[in-house]
Structure 1
Amino acid sequence: MKILIKGAGDLATGIASRLYGAGHQIMMTDIAVPLTVRRLVAFSRAVYEGEAVVEDMTARLAKNQEEAEEIMEQGDIPVIVDPKAECIQWFQPDVIVDAILAKRNLGTKITDAPFVIGVGPGFTAGEDCNCVVETKRGHTLGNVIWDGSAIPNTGVPGNVGGYSIERLIKASADGVIEPKAVIGDLVRKGQIVAITGGEPVYALMDGIVRGMLQPGVQVTKGLKIGDIDARAKQEHCRTISDKARAIGGGVLDAVCSYEKSRGKYALILLAAGQSVRFGSDKLKAVVEGEAMYESAISRFEAFQGFKSYVVTGKEEITLSAESAGCTVVCNKEPEKGISLSVKLGLTKAIEDADENGTPLRGVLFSVCDQPRLKKSTIQRIINTAFHNPGKIVCAGEGTRNGNPVLWDKRFFDKLLELDGDIGGKKILKENLDSLKIVPVQAGELQDIDRKEDLGTA
């Protein structure tokens, strides 16, 4: 797959190493003046040196699309100065990995690519990305988070060799940096290791200089400009760290999960109901500033790697669905009940998959009247279905199970036999031994059936 990594620092390079080793096509972006401390093991060095070799990989600076494509054709990794990642428009990546590690999201959206990964604090799975990879040292380092966020930044560096804050070399004043020690030098506590803005910077511990900014860079007082490692091993200065490899492993897990499941499931939104109990068209009812049908369609926009369908007979919903890239399946007879919408959507999804030569493993049905349903819930249902072939996977809250429901292909024939205003509940009850439940947060499955329900949504 084509993968864009935003950022080219040492941790981003560790991520690139795992993905490159798995055979993916990688491109990376960075700022015009990178501030990577561990620059000997970072592809950001290519920005000011033209080329960077890290272990068995080579990255080269690309000034435009043509140069980037040529570098990739030669089996290397292009690094392009593109802080806003405008190259997304022409690169059209399958996956975006935001590894800028700014401790906050600088503009990445879940709709920027078919699959988006946020690395570290500042991202929330199901909101601005499909998943998050933990970056904090410790038991959960490298974990893939499918619902929620990484551990917040504490401002305290992790413990390495028995030292934490002492490891850091920080600028003593605003100005240009003049290193007095180079990466690989052994230094003693109290030794001058750099000059910033004319002021000396002292080592706070004994050890080896594992990282130091390049000479001549403009820095500000308090900025991290280097680090010291008490373990004092030369090879650590020139090889990818254990932390970077662990984070890279988490990203690779997430990428593999997406790669194996993409295109194998269809998402179908049922939006043709008559809203009898509501008294008017409830799908147009506004919850938190957005019509329910609009929020339901926007949830599907986060899953570009899967074909999405909206079954409706309403013009307004049709226009919204089409603008979001969904295929509209027309149901002009909603009075025949939900079974007709199920059959129309499923039939179209099966036909499209057969035509494309990629038979479906399953189909997920969702409804419009669950305004609190999270994108991350849909993602977790898909993940669960992939790892549990032959099962029915649905969302569950306490003793209640409900939509969305993902049906394995072995239930397609039974779904196509439904009749009247009966959905798949009957089939589900007859196959409880095949049911897998994905737990969700309280209130997430609330249906808006009557106008009074709007007060609690």
Structure 2
Amino acid sequence: MSQTAILLLAAGASRRMRGRDKLLEPMGDRPLLRERAETCLRAGAGLTVAVLPPDTPARQSALDGLEIRIVVARDAGLGMAASIRAGIRALPPQVEAALLVLADMPELTSADLAAVLNAHDPTKPRICRGTAEDGRPGHPVLFPARLFPRLLELDGDEGARSLIEAERGNTRAVPLPGRRALTDLDTPEDWARWRKHHTL
């Protein structure tokens, strides 16, 4: 999978966390962001890029010592599309597919990410999308290089939703166990509920 890359999208503002940074919430003995980055690195892609917002030294410090390329999305406040654009622009030309991973999804494993990466077929370049066990679409989502120009045209905070919809007939679903492809944690209450059922 040396010609694939992972974009770890970690430039969100945590607005619903009431002053806390969700990406710095503890996952065992380390922050969520570092734990997610380590998970990405174990998935087997040739390159992992973390997209961060400007002026977040604590997030940058959380990634210290990891073999991960850090890209700052200067316009991250404009929405997720800005983070996607920054990540895609940072990729070298030989990358044939990029897996977009949201940093606030704590249940995805390196095996889950590898499953979506391995679903990519360079002879049939299409979107590969992680789904819940019951088929509900979720994350992560892999985009072939032929769609990079369209990712660079995205705008706003809906991420790549419009592009995924346009490519609906050319998408491969990759079922992942349970609800791992759907679980994200956006509020202190989300975290509290999740921690009740998970031993860190």
TM-score (normalizing by structure 2): 0.87
- Is the contact between residue 277 and residue 450 of structure 1 (CA under 8 Å) also seen in structure 2? yes
Between Structure 1 and Structure 2, which shows a larger proportion of strand residues?
1
**1:315 corresponds to which residue?**
57
Cα deviation for residue 333 of structure 1 reads 3.1
Could you tell me how far apart the structure 1 residues matched to 2:130 and 2:180 are? 9
- Is the contact between residue 131 and residue 174 of structure 2 (CA under 8 Å) also seen in structure 1? yes
**2:70 corresponds to which residue?**
328
Could you tell me how far apart the structure 1 residues matched to 2:29 and 2:17 are? 19
Mapping 1:53-132, distance limit 5 Å? none
**2:198 corresponds to which residue?**
none
Closer, same or farther: CA 290–443 of 1 in aligned 2, 3 Å: farther
Could you tell me how far apart the structure 2 residues matched to 1:312 and 1:326 are? 12
Q: Does 1:278 align with 2:23?
A: no
TM-score (normalizing by structure 1): 0.40
**2:139 corresponds to which residue?**
403
Could you tell me how far apart the structure 2 residues matched to 1:291 and 1:414 are? 33
Q: Which of 161, 175, 179 is the equivalent residue of 1:439? A: 175
Runs of 4+ in 1 over 6 A off after TM superposition: none
**2:107 corresponds to which residue?**
372
SS in structure 1 opposite 2:63?
Answer: helix
5+ residue gaps, structure 1, are: 1-260
**Residues 341-395 of structure 1: CA distance to partner in whole angstroms, max 9, x if unpaired?**
100010011xxx23xxxx2211111011111111001111111113663110111
Q: Does 1:361 align with 2:103?
A: no
SS in structure 2 opposite 1:438?
Answer: strand
SS in structure 2 opposite 1:323?
Answer: coil
Amino acid at match of 2:68: C
Could you tell me how far apart the structure 1 residues matched to 2:128 and 2:45 are? 19
**Residues 307-334 of structure 1: CA distance to partner in whole angstroms, max 9, x if unpaired?**
1100103222223335111011012332
Could you tell me how far apart the structure 2 residues matched to 1:360 and 1:332 are? 23
Aligned residues: 189
Mapping 1:214-363, distance limit 5 Å? 261-262=1-2, 264-279=3-18, 280-303=20-43, 306-313=46-53, 314-349=56-91, 353-354=92-93, 359-363=94-98
Identity of aligned pairs, percent? 23
**1:456 corresponds to which residue?**
194
SS in structure 1 opposite 2:118?
Answer: helix
Could you tell me how far apart the structure 2 residues matched to 1:389 and 1:321 are? 34
- Is the contact between residue 309 and residue 326 of structure 1 (CA under 8 Å) also seen in structure 2? yes
- Is the contact between residue 82 and residue 155 of structure 2 (CA under 8 Å) also seen in structure 1? yes
Could you tell me how far apart the structure 2 residues matched to 1:304 and 1:317 are? 23
Q: Higher RCO, 1 or 2 (CA under 8 Å, sep at least 6)?
A: 2
5+ residue gaps, structure 2, are: 196-200
Could you tell me how far apart the structure 2 residues matched to 1:336 and 1:375 are? 30
Backbone CA RMSD of aligned residues: 1.8
Cα deviation for residue 438 of structure 1 reads 1.0
**Which structure has the larger Rg?**
1
- Is the contact between residue 24 and residue 59 of structure 2 (CA under 8 Å) also seen in structure 1? no
Q: Does 1:394 align with 2:129?
A: yes
Closer, same or farther: CA 426–370 of 1 in aligned 2, 3 Å: same
